[in-house]
Structure 1
């Protein structure tokens, strides 16, 4: 990944027991005495990724990753009960306390940005800085853009038809709830086919413009956990991300008034339109807004990599006491 810091391995990993019996996987990399940064992954239902450590200089950052409940290495896998946005925020706070951190930098992209924003509004006293990329605001309009017939589907109609293909014709006007039915059917072949179709739609939108430039096709690799992963994604979408439909993640933005940070967004983002970043900046003017003209949604795109690395370095400057 050009422009990022060298790859590093965790110096510690383990599981955090939550009060309700979940086991949350976490890992730490970099400098154990450095400025703490927690990386909040997207999805919902995805997992922490090693390459994201490379956005942060490992000699000065204590880099913390974790898998949200039900996702990645966390146990039990694919759990849908007691899996809501509120539970995820509680898990992040329990992790902070467990690691003995008073204040940390919070970084997230896409759904991870949604959670990062919600966490910062709930616990601003524990957020030293906030870095969000390709922000999903989690409003009803965002769901309609991604899953409805007249949003991004109008730009990628062929991929959208493939997304609808596994669904009964009578259910295609409500694809998210229809996918929830498939994922909860119990039949593994049905769940696996549903995961493949859902994953292809996500990849088609996320890679839509970038993959043509980069020269590769948006066919995702599906592992054994794919049905669990996309069942979580469908469940969250079906429940409106457990957020208010009008404001989504922007529910208590006055609590961000003293939180410094960066809003980084690709102009060509088809998953989360750039309007999201503009709206967020209006609610959080203390942040620095950077719209990256030749970039889409993915944080592997070179212009976004460069912007994220520069932002992480700038955050070090504003948190100079940790150098």
Structure 2
């Protein structure tokens, strides 16, 4: 953890009404006159992590964080008894991000995101390229069918067979034919116990695969019922719709990032978001640098990841 900056307190926070009945929780930290950066959390559905503020020199950066729709302290929560997720899509999040930039009167900002956060960063940057100064992305994920099939239709099961069996356990034979659809049914069941069992099984699968070496802390975090239901519902909602992207769109449209420098930090042994995606994005985006980190998986705490991220943020400050 020595690669992180000291804990940076929140300087200001509040709720932003983004329409459609949604209000997102936002934080502002660091130097109010510093270089603006916005942190895009993963999941979707994981919410703000306080440690994320520590990737940046607080004397040089103005650090913005927010809970995406349905996540963390934003309202309504995807974990509510009967959530309406129709107005919670990737393109709603892109619009929310642009509204937040306008509200904060920021001309251009750096985007910093890992896993699902990299998806949102790419979608926003390709939609609003003139508003982006740089991108720092970790564990690149573009929601292509091959990426979803790897994690949720048996690819990663070759590396984690016992954990895959536990992931499939709540599903009946019919539902196992398409786990995303099967989990969607269970997570919106009228039976609370069934909802919670499914949410924990879904979330623990990610907790079990995220780090290069097993870490009980991840499994413990993801198995918390209040976290798991919110996390699982949003992830299934987004992934069964392909995040409302055309197949391969974010790599196909990487040319829209021309002139925007970026750093892609990728664990060599990332079992959640395998390196092929970061490599293909890098090839399609000449202004990017690929930092393939040996001895690391998907977790931000895996060896070498924090150091590579700090090198990137220090380099852009």
TM-score range, shorter chain: over 0.9
What's 1:185 paired with? 189
CA distance 1:230–1:19, shift in 2 (3 Å): same
In structure 2, the CA distance between the partners of 1:217 and 1:32, relative to structure 1 (3 Å rule), is closer
Where does structure 1 lack aligned partners over 5 or more consecutive residues?
A: 317-323
Q: In the alignment, which residue of structure 2 is the partner of 1:320?
A: none
Q: Is the 8 A contact 1:261 1:315 kept in 2?
A: no
Label 1:13 to 1:260 Cα distance change in 2 as closer, same or farther (>3 A). same
Is the alpha carbon distance of 1:89 and 1:217 closer, same or farther for their aligned partners in structure 2, counting shifts above 3 Å?
closer
Q: Which moved more, 1:89-98 or 1:225-234?
A: 225-234
* CA displacement at 1:29 relative to structure 2: 0.7
Cα offset, 1:244, TM superposition: 1.3
The alpha-carbon deviation at position 217 of structure 1 amounts to: 7.1
Give how far 1:81 is off. Answer: 2.2
Aligned residue runs from structure 1 range 62-141, under 5 A: 62-78=62-78, 79=83, 80-141=85-146
Q: Per-residue deviation at 1:216? A: 6.3
Structure 1 vs Structure 2 CA RMSD? 1.4
Shift of 1:248: 4.0
Q: Is residue 254–residue 281 contact of structure 2 (8 Å, CA) maintained in 1?
A: no
1:138 touches 1:248 (CA, 8 Å); kept in 2? no
Distance in 1, matches of 2:270 and 2:98, equals 30
Secondary structure of residue in 1 paired with 2:208:
helix
- How does the TM-score come out when normalised to structure 1? 0.93
2:304 is paired with a residue whose SS is helix
Matched, 1:278 2:279: yes
Q: TM-score of the superposition, structure 2-length normalised?
A: 0.95
- What per-residue deviation string (whole Å, max 9, x for no partner) do you get for residues 29-52 of structure 1? 100110000000010111011101
* Aligned residue in 2 for 1:53: 53
| 2:245 corresponds to 1:237 | no
Q: Which runs of 5+ in 2 are unaligned?
A: none
Q: Is the 8 A contact 2:129 2:257 kept in 1?
A: yes
1:1-323 counterparts in 2 under 5 A? 1-78=1-78, 79=83, 80-149=85-154, 151-207=155-211, 209-211=212-214, 218-219=219-220, 220-245=222-247, 247-316=248-317
